[in-house]
Amino acid sequence: MANKTKRGLATTESQTPELKKTPTGIAGLDEITGGGLPAGRPTLVCGAAGCGKTMLAAEFLAHGALEYGEPGVFMMFEETAAELAENLASLGIDMAKLQRQKKIALDFVRVERNEIEETGEYDLDGLFIRLGHAIDSIGAKRVVLDTIEALFAGVPNHAILRAELRRLFRWLKDKGVTAIITGERGESTFTRYGLEEYVADCVILLDHRIVEQVSTRRLRVVKYRGSSHGTNEYPFLIGARGISVLPITSLTLSHVASRERVSTGIPGLDQMLGGRGAYRGSSILVSGAPGTGKSSVAASFVDAACRRGERALLFAYEESASQLLRNMRSIGLDLQRWVAKGLLRIESTRPTLHGLEQHLVHMHDMVQSFKPEVVAVDPISNLTSHGEDAGLKLTLMRLIDFLKTAGTTALFTSLTADRGDAVAATSEVGVSSLMDSWLLLANVAYNGERTRTLQVLKSRGMPHSNQVREFVFSDHGVDLVDVYLNGDQVLTGTARVAHEAHLSASNDLRGRDHERRLRDLATRRKTLDAQIAALTSEAEERAGEVQFAIAREQFEADGVSTRARSIAASRGASVATPAVAKPAAAGRKGSR
């Protein structure tokens, strides 16, 4: 193979240091090829019937004509111009208008084997002249030859044809046009007639396969001389806007992480997520068994976004929009007003309507046109009905990547089998590794009652609560309630309520006890105060008595000495001694 392809053109063209590329304008393809197809060279697009070769080629021309100012020639060997125009009209490409504007020239080459007889030598100058004429008439920079292998059916002498094809591709290069040549997939070669021999610069392989009744188209860049390119198989779709190739990732993880936090719409949950909610642009997975409240979490999430005045997009794969609105109103979330305001868009489709890839493209389209700040998908597990986990993971990876690049915060819900315990969520571990935060909703059956609980299994880049919280619906939305830890038991539901009542009763009792003791204390203080007052007055009474006694004794003593002095004076005798002795006795008494 390698030798074969080299023989074609490699030796003739020296490689320019920087390969010029011609953008195809096809979403995703330019990313994979790092800018487009090799400019001024032919590219071979091969694949089985119905895998989208013509579509790819036609889009290449239409984008060139409309967006890059490069007119193109479409030379078709199988479809007529009218058929092609009809097919492209479904993508919104008006071929007739482009033709009138001299942006695209169509040439239908019909090869009817039964009309042709060959005698002697000939060449395919007629084809060259037609192509050359078409190129010159509009100054074309792009050329499509679809499917040139039809010539092998029409031209009997394959030796001549092969020589002429080689000359044709050489000639196209000399003309400096970027060409797409399509070819049918062969059994052991890329194309049935080995066109890859002549077109060695770039080969793109398209494939259309059905796995478990779901069809997926895939694209692979087999070779791209002189350029690096994505080598994987990339799923692609032909949607309402033509082909879009979905690169699994944009090759690098380079999105900018925001530090901004956004509320999840559930105060208790914000509290669990470090107190401030989720990071803007992060992705949150909410998994849980049926009836654990996933949809309500999703609804709260979009409701919170709309409250902030942001746009939100809700993909509902289980309920119709009106059913969802009604059901959410029952828990006090009025989403209708946001819909009316144009802030919220609810996209309800049956998951079985499309394959996974198509859903992804649909989401892409919606996100790109609506530009929401917040996206919720409820639930992702419904998207794949045949349990192809790998496919779901890849699809999600691309979706998450896309949303992250756009800075969109995303919430996905995922249904898990109800196994009644909290670790039943192993089935989507593959998906969960892509998520920044993973919330698990679980039903806890205890004591004849089922309660909803919520726990944060992981949340990147923020402290988060390890506790299980009880999840309650009220008339005004969803909230979380602290669970009660009673010894080593987590109490939820009725048990929690009973415990709460019990606690409050004992609180009440204790309060009363305190009051009573305070009252007692006050009474005792009053009693003591009274006693103190009584004692004080008694003391004062005594003091009064004592002073009175002292005064009286003093008075008596004074009287005695006066009398003694007067007696002595009258008798003329000294009575100093008894006068001294009496006051001494009085002084002793008075000291008391």
- Note whether 239 binds another protein by CB under 8 A: no
Q: Taking CA 450 as the corner, what is the angle to CA 445 and CA 451, rounded to the nearest 5 degrees?
A: 105
State which residue, 117 or 174, has the beta carbon closest to another protein: 117
Task: Pick from 110, 341, 512, 519 the residue near another protein by CB under 8 A.
Answer: 110
**Tokens 């080598």 found at:** 231
State which residue, 124 or 454, has the beta carbon closest to another protein: 124
- Note whether 78 binds another protein by CB under 8 A: no
- Note whether 555 binds another protein by CB under 8 A: no
CB atoms closer than 10 angstroms to residue 268 = 19
- Note whether 127 binds another protein by CB under 8 A: yes
Is the distance from CB of 220 to CB of 234 less than 8 angstroms? yes
Is residue 121 among the annotated active site residues?
A: no
- Note whether 159 binds another protein by CB under 8 A: no
* Residue 65 DSSP code: H
Question: Which is catalytic among the residues 13, 78, 388, 553?
Answer: 78
- φ, ψ for residue 398 (rounded to 5)? -65, -40
Task: Pick from 117, 174, 187, 488 the residue near another protein by CB under 8 A.
Answer: 117
**What are the structure tokens assigned to 53, written together?**
């070769």
- Note whether 158 binds another protein by CB under 8 A: no
Q: How far is CA 346 from CA 263, 320, 323, 377, in A?
A: 20, 9, 11, 10
- Note whether 125 binds another protein by CB under 8 A: yes
Task: Select from 111-119, 259-267, 418-426, 427-435 the region that touches another protein (CB under 8 A).
Answer: 111-119
Question: Which is catalytic among the residues 318, 319, 388, 553?
Answer: 318
State which residue, 127 or 285, has the beta carbon closest to another protein: 127
Is the distance from CB of 324 to CB of 384 less than 8 angstroms? no
- Note whether 132 binds another protein by CB under 8 A: yes
Binding residues for another protein, rule CB under 8 A, total 26
Task: Select from 122-130, 167-175, 456-464, 579-587 the region that touches another protein (CB under 8 A).
Answer: 122-130
Task: Pick from 27, 37, 144, 151 the residue near another protein by CB under 8 A.
Answer: 151
List strands edge to edge, sheet with 202-211. 104-108, 72-76, 142-146, 178-184, 42-47, 202-211, 214-224, 233-239, 242-245
Rounded to whole angstroms, the Cα distance separating 432 from 56 reads 35
Rounded to whole angstroms, the Cα distance separating 313 from 363 reads 10
State which residue, 116 or 569, has the beta carbon closest to another protein: 116
- Cα-Cα end-to-end distance for the chain: 137
Task: Pick from 11, 14, 49, 120 the residue near another protein by CB under 8 A.
Answer: 120
Rounded to whole angstroms, the Cα distance separating 259 from 271 reads 17
CB atoms closer than 10 angstroms to residue 188 = 6
Task: Select from 62-70, 128-136, 318-326, 577-585 the region that touches another protein (CB under 8 A).
Answer: 128-136
Residues 256-295 that bind another protein (CB under 8 A): none
- Note whether 116 binds another protein by CB under 8 A: yes
Rounded to whole angstroms, the Cα distance separating 207 from 570 reads 160
CB atoms closer than 10 angstroms to residue 361 = 25
Distance of closest approach, residue 46 Cβ to another protein, in angstroms:
22
Distance of closest approach, residue 143 Cβ to another protein, in angstroms:
16
Task: Pick from 20, 133, 209, 502 the residue near another protein by CB under 8 A.
Answer: 133
Q: Of the candidates 35, 26, 17, which has an alpha carbon nearest to the alpha carbon of residue 59?
A: 26
Distance of closest approach, residue 20 Cβ to another protein, in angstroms:
29
Is residue 197 among the annotated active site residues?
A: no
- Note whether 129 binds another protein by CB under 8 A: yes
Residue numbers at the binding site for another protein (CB under 8 A)? 107-112, 115-127, 129-130, 132-133, 151, 154-155
Indicate which residues carry an active-site annotation: 78, 318
